[in-house]
Structure 1
Amino acid sequence: MELSWNGLLQKHRPPVIEFWGTLLVQLVFFWLPSLFYLALDHVAPNLSQRHKLQPRTKQPTPAELKDCLKVVFRNQLLSALIHISLLSLGGLADGKPTYRFDASLPPLDQVILDVLACVFLREVLFYYAHRILHLPSVYPKIHKVHHRFTAPVALAAQYAHPIEHFFANSLPISIPPMILHCHVVSFWVFLAVELLETTTAHSGYDFLSVLAEKHDAHHEKFLINFGTIGLLDWIHGTDERTRQKRVA
């Protein structure tokens, strides 16, 4: 693997590797899971219905899914254009890549530590961005787009207003590995983990019940479960159990 990595470094500049590697991770860990969850209704309808968290009457229509596909394509194209622009500007500024491109690949324990640290920082950034999106002055103009799907599907994880997609979806994932100056491979592993988490959380299925049930409850009740790992929801009392105790 290290020989292949060094061969890649010799043939291509770091910004090129970063861009295409990130695009490949998006394809494998966002599009494939999203299409898998969508296909279940057609290839295994009985299995699909047994594991759906919400009834058939709440599921999105084919027209809504088509619109979802268009919006997600638009958001990913916008992200790609911004990514290319930032890589170009970074190269003009100092020639240094955003992440580390060491000749040696990071050891497994370092990758795990990097990913755990990035997950924590992403939780902080995403939680507060998400809370801002639910402010009465912001929600109707921006975040209401994402909440169109009261019974979410995996593809709808990136169904959002462009402003939300940039500030709540993209930046909380891009910033942590930049702050920690991670190896680009650690960034890709972190990105893969987060994409799998968000597609599963929005899938509408109970296969990984904790993730999906929590986010399904957020789409249904709006004012709970703003984070992903639950730490800041617990601290701020916005997890479902804490709110139920307060109401009781």
Structure 2
Amino acid sequence: MDILLSLPIASYFFSSSVTSWSTSLNLIFFYMTWSTLVLTHSPIQIELIGTTAIRLAFWLVPSLLFLLFDNLLPSVAESIKYNGASALPPRDFKSLSRLLALAIFNFGLETAVEGCLSLGLSILFKQPVFRTSTTLPLPWQMIKQLALLFTLREIFTYYTHRYWLHGTPPPAPPSALSKRIKLPKSPRPRYLPSLHKSYSHKYRSPPFSLQVKIDHPLPFLLHRFLPTYLPALILRNNLHLLTFFVFLALTTIEETLSHSSYTIIPGVIMGGITKRTCMHYTGRKQGNYGTWGVLDWVHGTGLGKRDVWDDVRDEASKHQLRERGEDMMDEAGGRVEKALRRSKRNLNRNKSGRRGMSNKRGKGWLVDDEEDDGEGDWVP
């Protein structure tokens, strides 16, 4: 418990709400807390306690709050849910207790599997899986690594979800190639789609947030745990543990909101992800296997009239990106034009000054005037 309370991420976020410290003091306090945590605990302890705290804070607690809201105020929840009353979770205690028990079991299972993998790999390579040091990652480096992690996660999620959990056959090879080369059969286990369908898709209705971890343990690990943990393992030599914590927090928030089925999810892109998730659970036709919808758009497995590019255009229109870009271009053009005028004025002044020094006539000198006409004036 002392490790959970001493997590620097929690202290960093709560310090600004409790006190009136500035951002710089928060960063100093965050660095001191993180350094103390690294120096007093092993990397595997920090990883497991950190990931558990993130999943508790961003999945379990919000999911229970959403579940309580849906059951206490069903008429209000129905009005802000996709498909209305069909999106409400079961209300009988027996069904809810079974679903909650399965979700908590999978929650503990992924923590145990992550601990075993991290411990085994650290013993095998004689170093921690993730870089755990007092040196904090640079912001630009963190942004690049997060972009790569989300890209790899989307790839793993789409192909695992489509070909392994829904049993979609892979695309047929060209006829000429299939005649010459006898391709082996797909190694997809046949029982995975039935397990995933009987647990995760038991109710043909929009999901609720607790349903993120409601699945058979084997499909759950393939669908939720491995697409998040494997990309981090690929970048483990250069990946800081704090970057992995940020990546895990963002993915957990995304899954919790996208499975809530609420129509009031903020953001056009996040709202689009939520709508595509609901269509995946309720659609008669299989599709929407990915999270962001990019690979569904590429492979033609998207459901509905809208795709990810419609969400991007709506988001750009919402924030007036085009108008802001035009204003920035106009402002940049004005600055360039002003700089050219200034350089031309300085050049004319230098030429006029040289003419005045070399053309002395009586008591007058040729000097530059205030007007930008390229000629000088005679003054006594």
Letter of the 1:237 counterpart = G
- CA 1:200/1:215 → structure 2, altered by over 3 Å: closer, same or farther? same
- CA 1:125/1:42 → structure 2, altered by over 3 Å: closer, same or farther? same
Q: CA deviation at 1:194?
A: 0.8
The residue number in structure 1 matching 2:115 is 84
Letter of the 1:235 counterpart = V
Matched, 1:59 2:88: yes
Q: CA deviation at 1:82?
A: 1.6
Report the RMSD for the aligned CA atoms in angstroms: 2.1
Matched, 1:5 2:34: yes
User: What are the residue-to-residue correspondences of 1:4-23 with 2, within 5 Å?
Assistant: 4-23=33-52
Q: CA deviation at 1:109?
A: 2.5
Matched, 1:213 2:275: yes
Within the candidate set 274, 290, 302, 1:227 is matched to 290
C-alpha distance in 2, partners of 1:65/1:54?
21
Letter of the 1:152 counterpart = P
CA contact (8 A) 2:67 2:89 kept: no
Letter of the 1:213 counterpart = K
User: What are the residue-to-residue correspondences of 1:8-157 with 2, within 5 Å?
Assistant: 8-42=37-71, 45=74, 47-57=76-86, 59-62=88-91, 63-132=94-163, 133-135=165-167, 137=190, 138-149=192-203, 150-157=205-212
Matched, 1:174 2:229: yes
SS at match of 2:39: helix
The residue number in structure 1 matching 2:214 is 159
Matched pairs, number: 244
C-alpha distance in 1, partners of 2:299/2:150?
18
- What does the per-residue CA deviation read over 1:51-79, in whole Å, with 9 as the maximum and x for residues that have no partner? 11123245332333322111111111221
Structure 1 residue ranges (4+ consecutive) displaced by more than 6 angstroms after TM superposition: none
C-alpha distance in 2, partners of 1:57/1:210?
19
SS at match of 1:148: coil
Larger RCO: 1 or 2 (CA < 8 Å, sep 6+): 1
Q: CA deviation at 1:43?
A: 5.8
- CA 1:32/1:111 → structure 2, altered by over 3 Å: closer, same or farther? farther
Letter of the 1:84 counterpart = G
- What does the per-residue CA deviation read over 1:65-117, in whole Å, with 9 as the maximum and x for residues that have no partner? 32211111111122122222223323332331111113211122322222221
The residue number in structure 1 matching 2:313 is none
C-alpha distance in 2, partners of 1:172/1:57?
30
Q: CA deviation at 1:142?
A: 3.2
SS at match of 2:143: helix
Letter of the 2:248 counterpart = L
CA contact (8 A) 1:115 1:190 kept: yes
CA contact (8 A) 1:53 1:206 kept: yes
CA contact (8 A) 1:106 1:183 kept: yes
C-alpha distance in 2, partners of 1:69/1:203?
15
CA contact (8 A) 2:81 2:87 kept: no
The residue number in structure 1 matching 2:310 is none
CA contact (8 A) 1:237 1:243 kept: no
Q: Percent identity?
A: 29
C-alpha distance in 1, partners of 2:96/2:252?
19
SS at match of 1:141: helix
C-alpha distance in 2, partners of 1:2/1:143?
46
Ranges in structure 1 where 5+ consecutive residues have no aligned partner? none
CA contact (8 A) 1:152 1:202 kept: yes
Q: CA deviation at 1:18?
A: 0.7
C-alpha distance in 2, partners of 1:85/1:44?
42
C-alpha distance in 1, partners of 2:73/2:141?
40
CA contact (8 A) 1:151 1:219 kept: yes
Q: CA deviation at 1:49?
A: 2.5
C-alpha distance in 1, partners of 2:305/2:296?
9
SS at match of 2:195: coil
SS at match of 1:160: coil
Matched, 1:197 2:263: no
In terms of fraction of residues, the more helix-rich structure is 1
C-alpha distance in 2, partners of 1:64/1:203?
18
Q: CA deviation at 1:171?
A: 0.6
